[in-house]
A and B are shown apart, each in its own frame.
Chain A
Amino acid sequence: MTDMLDDDVTQAHVDLFSKFDPLIAMRRDLLATGVTDPFGLVMERVISPTVAVCNGRETILLGTYNYMGMTFDPDVIEAGKQALDDFGSGTTGSRVLNGTYAGHKAVEQALCDFYAMDHAMVFSTGYQANLGIISTIAGKGDYIVLDIDSHASIWDGCKMGDAEVVPFKHNDIEAMEKRLRRIPEGAGKLVVLEGVYSMLGDIAPLKEMIAVAKKYGAMVLVDEAHSMGFIGPNGRGVAEEQGCLDQVDFVIGTFSKSVGTVGGFCVSNHPKFEIMRLVCRPYVFTASLPPSVVATACTSIRKLMHAGDKRAHLWGNSRVLHKGLRDAGFQLGTEEPQSAIISVIMPDLERGAAMWEALLHEGLYVNLARPPATPANMTLLRCSLCAEHSAEQVQQIIGMFTRAGKAVGIIG
């Protein structure tokens, strides 16, 4: 047994924050160059899905993941107001206690209808959906095989559970197969993939990857956060587009992008899926979404089932922006537009931040992504298009990029 300290002795104080010193220094150096803090922007007023006021200036929004522009849809807003009146501002409880209202059941039914699946489970965020499902279904002795470029919520789900975690090189079918082949016989296997990878906006070869996963007896989870509503014949995502949705055991999605509110979900045809509601801790031990949120989500999801025109316009925007930026001389994340994300590769963090700020001064907001969140430690300006961006706005955006790119010296 160790001795207690004498009354007159104290040990040296260890500041738990010292581990953040390198990041604090990096931020200080960046801000010392005089650029606006790219992670401290405030939207003072929001005028529409594509325009807000930032620093007193009207700004075109090109980094919101509000793909289908549902945030100001009149039916969606009306449903939210009605639910506020009828059910109040919050549930103050867990889904498994006092937090399941009619609206939660209705939005789960809307998801079952949207995906044509038997079960849907709504979480308070998409982050929690990944955290909860992955950590709960893959347990001790099981193996999770996942793409190295997976979203933080997938990694955190792996970390929270007790399974063995085995990553493979991004979108590399052979690397994935090698790892599946080496897993001891009889072990449970979960392959985790994404439809669209949000850093570069590239899609996964899901059909081939899922076929391999199934050959090795694995279950498959696909995060379709960035494809809902506009990829696949019914907007069910990349797996539907590639004709392999029936092979996917679990689809994870979010309300925070195409649906235009907040929340997350998992849909599945697994016959025992409902047991998740009792064993999945990030579902049980947190309060459910407010009634207004599930009402807006439900209305939005049902409208997304019939949004063919919006979808076509969104794809048109994506193609025009991709071509415009490429012709202007920018280096992009994909050769062809594969999603509604167009990622512009910056030479380094300093010039990336300078470009981000120059765009903001032009009146354009994009996402700045920097290491270590990015693949290959790239600095990226991520543009996400909206079905509500007009053709003129897209041309304006190309003009802003061209002017800012020349000013910062990124293009000639």
Chain B
Amino acid sequence: MKFLEEKIFKVIMICAAMIILFVLVYIIGTVFYRGFHSLTLDMITKLPGGGFYLGKEGGVLNAIVGSLYIILGALAISILLSVPLVMFINFYLPAKSIFASLIRFSLDILFGIPSIVYGAFGFAIMVYLGIRASLLGGILTVAMLIMPIMMRSFDEITRLLSRDLPDALLSLGATKYEMTKVILRQLMPGLVTAILLAVGRGIGDAATVLFTAGYTDNIPASLNQPAATLPLSIFFQLGSPVEEVQNRAYASAIILTVIILILSFSARYISSKFSKNKL
């Protein structure tokens, strides 16, 4: 009986792994198969020319730059708020604080809200303030979208930290603030993981930026100009009746994937540099 259970469980585990692998390979395969031939140098170095969406020449540089601006801006804001918040609820509030549970609970709810709601919410506020769809609007809305996941995942990792390190620091006569600085070094890999999860959610999302960042064929020169993004660019290209343009949509998807990969590797690299020695 026990033997049978073990067998069944093993089969389930292997099936699960196979399904995930299959889906992954299928998606990446399709994207590469359809997009690879359209992935030219022009795609990443040129702005869309007139009639780009009908098959004329050009590239998606506008969307690449726009997406990078928005995600980096949103990351900067979220990191600046997430780190203090997580340090506060973990090390400044007592272990069983009701206030901390309330914050965690709110973050869980915020995390579950669909991105289109953030988009609509951001848009409503912008209308109220009289701001047009712009880079700034996109950055703020995406920041709202990714903040809950960044805070919550960083918090989970922080909670796993044993009490030994904070206790050791306090025993040496460190203040809470000095203690927090050392703990952050220990938590750097965890912070990077949280950031990457946030990037994953933020960079591929179309619904938040649809109304708030708008769309343009140019690169925004200031925060109050509209900005294009890769997800929307993909969406518009897929909507074209021309097959060549649809293939370019897949090429854009490859570009998006590569951007995420580059961000991942550089984040890991920076964190490993950071967590070495010196204070």
- A and B interact physically: no
Residues in A lying within 8 Å of B, measured CB to CB = none
